[in-house]
Structure 1
Amino acid sequence: MGWFARAEAWLDEKGKGAWIAAMVLGFILFWPIGLALLFYMIWSKRMFNGSCARRRHRNGDVRIDIRAARRSSGNTAFDAYKEETLRRLEDEQEQFEAFLQRLRDAKDKAEFDQFMDERAREAAKPRDTDEDVKQEA
């Protein structure tokens, strides 16, 4: 991990205030550094989100939300409805992923068939190498 990545991770841990302080210090020390930090904060959307630390742990938060979704609410009717809906959504996701895989496979097969057709056409062309050599001499 380079120094930039370490500095970015450290600033993310401290939050948006640390990014703003670093930007202000950058302007005080040498204005292009502050300007570069400002552009980076806008480009990476650190300027407009609630917390920098939230961005770092996005995948972990998703796993926690799935566990929370499976937790019982205390209402059996709602829990049954929620469980059925989650099962249906998981099935739809699996079906959609299978559909995407079939699309990729079909595209790969079409590209391979096109390649083989072009190769067969090239192989079927008569080779005039003997005539070309005689005409050049």
Structure 2
Amino acid sequence: MSEIPVIPPEKGDTPHHSVHVYYGYGKGKTTCCIGLAIRALGAGKRVALVQFDKGYDGEHEHYSERHILRKLEDIDLYPTGCERMKDDGSFRFGVEQQDLDEAKRGLKIAKKLIIGGDQDLLIL
């Protein structure tokens, strides 16, 4: 695996970098990230959001936060993952090869954004 280059700040520049980690079972992770994105957008920042395992992207998608986020400027959405809602409304649990392939696709998108994206905030 190749390393991501780290570019040191110019002399006199004060970098303001931070990493927020929201993890665990249950609700709240996406809500925290969306709140952070809205705050950044309100401050005039550009945002990129890569969603893992939330890939269904269509007329009847199940992730309502994307309906409003698509209407905002300066945010780029990258949903990855396979459809998990079955026709009967139940949820498909477990991991199949398609899920692993989609996770790899999401990581490739994230790497491109880390190395060369123009966003001020990257949410994975």
TM-score range, shorter chain: under 0.3
Which has the larger share of strand?
2
Structure number with greater Rg is 1
TM-score under structure 1 length normalisation:
0.20
* Structure with the larger RCO, 1 or 2 (CA within 8 Å, 6+ apart): 2
TM-score under structure 2 length normalisation:
0.21
